[in-house]
Amino acid sequence: MPLILQPEPNASVLRHRDMILHDLTQLAEPGTVQSQIEARRAFETDALTAYRCMPFAVLLPRTTEEVSRLLAYCNVNEVKVIPRGAGTSLSGGALPTEDAVVLCLSRMSRVLDIDFDNRFARVEAGVTNQSISEVVGPDYFYAPDPSSQLACSIGGNIAMNSGGAHCLRYGVTTQNLLGVKLVLINGDVVEIGGSHLDSPGYDLLGLIVGSEGQLGVVTEATVRILRKAEGARPLLMGFNSSEAAGACVSSIIASGVMPVAIEFMDRPAIKVCEDFAHAGYPLDVEALLIIEVEGSEKEIENQINLIVGLSLQHEPTVTRISKSEAESAAIWKGRKSAFGAVGRISDYVCMDGTIPLSTLSETLTVIARICSEAGFQVANIFHAGDGNLHPLILYNANTPGELERVEHCGAEILKHCVAVGGCLTGEHGVGIEKRDLMPLQFTSIDLQQQMQLKTVFDPHWLLNPSKVFPLDGRKAA
Ligand SMILES: Cc1cc2nc3c(=O)[nH]c(=O)nc-3n(C[C@H](O)[C@H](O)[C@H](O)COP(=O)(O)OP(=O)(O)OC[C@H]3O[C@@H](n4cnc5c(N)ncnc54)[C@H](O)[C@@H]3O)c2cc1C
């Protein structure tokens, strides 16, 4: 996966950039345009830290009008723009190129309106995912809950169609978004959707969700807020094999019982998370499921009884139902800090593919084989209920050639996901990471059609242009 590295800029390129910086500074509010090396360095990478490249400027606007002025200038002067929220993308979605400016929405973090009667909140794009639930709490919440929710922005969530543990029941971003304010590359400000379900006309909102910063810059979002259930309770189930745990997940889903979350960890993941969070996970099992149900006390009891009954045919060696709020919080802390916990012990790449649930056990065996043949350890932590895998392949970033080998290994896993009827990406987006794997999933005609759509929104390909589509075959777009 070669990164597009630009040649060292010559004197005329540097002069041209100075002119752009001068013009942008005239158009922007004081402090918006940052070109000092210290400021730019903070934006040279995102959570795909193996790749880095400094942009030639960073723009930190405070209003939609400012975003509009800046984009209109960039369009006329053909300046590439990388929209950015909190920079937690695991697929390199917010990675700059050296000839681009980063447009970061982090200063636009106001909550604009909360309407409990109509169950929505309107926020600026830089608001963090978690803070939406905090401001509408304690009786309401915003459902999609990426593990990065403390930091990631709603704008980034929309661009990546982010999910999380509880999306099994509540859906991902696209099911919880009602409308956006979007600034197009020519500076036009458009409202798409609204504050209620199903706006008239084409479903352009569906187009914007998951568009990875390539069609426009989201400056405001209207999201659905939900009333919290009366109660919630996680239970832990440990198994002697990943296959048994996988088969148990399939049985639960096939039965029609719908827990709010079913999360999976294999033995290496359990150990790392337990060492970090002291969540009380059993250490003598090969695979662990965290299953959460919600409702009244009676509903919780009924669902747990059904799930425990269904699990018996898969012979869990441990079944433990949370007995207190503190225990439940510890169970979730362990799961939600999993990526950070693995990061304490090793460099890793986090793959993100989906598979049909019926192929879960087979896929886990294939992942283990691919990684062991390449000599890498793998820890599997994922949203099992909706077949969204996250194998974390451990490697040493300081050993020359390991990154390429580990990426090859990840690509083999994603090929398998596609081959069994799944998808290249579940919730982390394509970014730069999976750009060159897109032909595994799409024909060249499919890709041409998607690129034509981008061209409609962004005729000069200035918005996040190096992402999503393979570099080969772009000319015809
Ligand atoms: C520890 C960890 C755990 C994670 N867990 C999950 C998880 O459980 N589920 C999940 O889905 N993801 C997860 N992620 C991935 C990441 O947090 C999400 O992709 C998130 O939505 C990115 O938001 P951000 O604000 O950081 O966006 P950024 O990383 O800044 O940008 C991501 C993409 O969005 C675009 N973008 C950002 N803001 C805007 C905007 N306002 N308008 C238009 N485009 C924009 C960027 O151009 C880029 O393409 C995790 C990441 C980490 C590091």
Calculate the average pLDDT of the chain.
94
Positive or negative CA dihedral for 135, 137, 141, 145? Answer: positive
pLDDT, tens digit (0-9, with 9 covering 90-100), for 197-234? 878 888 899 999 999 999 999 999 999 999 999 999 99
Q: Which pLDDT belongs to residue 124?
A: 98
Q: Are 140 and 227 in contact (CB under 8 A)?
A: yes
Does 95 score more than 60 pLDDT? yes
Task: Enter the tokens of residue 205.
Answer: 């909102």
Delimit the domains of the chain by residue range. Answer: 11-104, 111-227, 231-335, 346-428
Confidence of residue 5 (pLDDT cuts 50, 70, 90): low
Confidence of residue 6 (pLDDT cuts 50, 70, 90): low
Pick from 81, 77, 20: nearest CA to 216: 81
Distance 152 CA to ligand 1 centre (A): 6
CA distance 339 to 305: 31
Other CB atoms within a 10 A radius of the CB of residue 225 amount to 23
Q: Which pLDDT belongs to residue 213?
A: 98
* pTM, full prediction: 0.96
Distance 155 CA to ligand 1 centre (A): 8
Mutate to test the pocket of ligand 1, among 52, 59, 67, 88 (most ligand atoms within 8 A of CB): 88
Q: By percentage, how much of the chain surpasses pLDDT 70?
A: 98
Ligand 1, CB within 6 Å, residue ranges: 46-47, 82-90, 93-94, 105, 125, 146-148, 152-153, 155-157, 159-160, 162-164, 212-213, 217-218, 339-340, 427-428, 464
CA distance 361 to 363: 5
pLDDT, tens digit (0-9, with 9 covering 90-100), for 270-292? 999 999 999 999 999 999 999 99
Q: Which fold has domain 11-104?
A: 3.30.43
Other CB atoms within a 10 A radius of the CB of residue 141 amount to 19
Q: Do domains 111-227 and 231-335 have the same CATH topology?
A: no
What phi, psi does 97 have (nearest 5°)? -115, 165
pLDDT, tens digit (0-9, with 9 covering 90-100), for 431-472? 999 999 999 999 999 999 999 999 999 999 999 999 999 988
Distance 391 CA to ligand 1 centre (A): 18
Other CB atoms within a 10 A radius of the CB of residue 35 amount to 18
Mutate to test the pocket of ligand 1, among 89, 101, 176 (most ligand atoms within 8 A of CB): 89
Pick from 22, 466, 464: nearest CA to 212: 464
CATH number for the region 111-227 comes to: 3.30.465.10
Does 2 score more than 50 pLDDT? no
Q: Which pLDDT belongs to residue 10?
A: 86
Q: Which atom of ligand 1 is nearest to the CA of 82?
A: 47
What's at 59, amino acid-wise?
L
Strand, helix or coil at 392?
strand
What's at 36, amino acid-wise?
Q
Does 475 score more than 60 pLDDT? no
CA distance 384 to 246: 8
Distance 214 CA to ligand 1 centre (A): 14
If residue 67 lies in a helix (H) or strand (E), which one and from where to where?
helix 64-76
Q: Are 387 and 421 in contact (CB under 8 A)?
A: no
Q: Which atom of ligand 1 is nearest to the CA of 163?
A: 11
Does 477 score more than 50 pLDDT? no
Does 394 score more than 50 pLDDT? yes
Please state which of the ranges 110-114, 353-357, 406-410, 411-415 shows the lowest mean pLDDT.
353-357
Q: Which pLDDT belongs to residue 7?
A: 64
Q: Which fold has domain 346-428?
A: Alpha-Beta Plaits (3.30.70)
Positive or negative CA dihedral for 152, 155, 159, 161? Answer: positive
Q: Are 231 and 296 in contact (CB under 8 A)?
A: yes
Distance 156 CA to ligand 1 centre (A): 4
User: Which residue's CA is the closest to the ligand 1 atom numbered 28?
Assistant: 87
Strand, helix or coil at 340?
helix
**What class is the 231-335 domain?**
alpha beta
Q: Which atom of ligand 1 is nearest to the CA of 429?
A: 19
Distance 423 CA to ligand 1 centre (A): 19
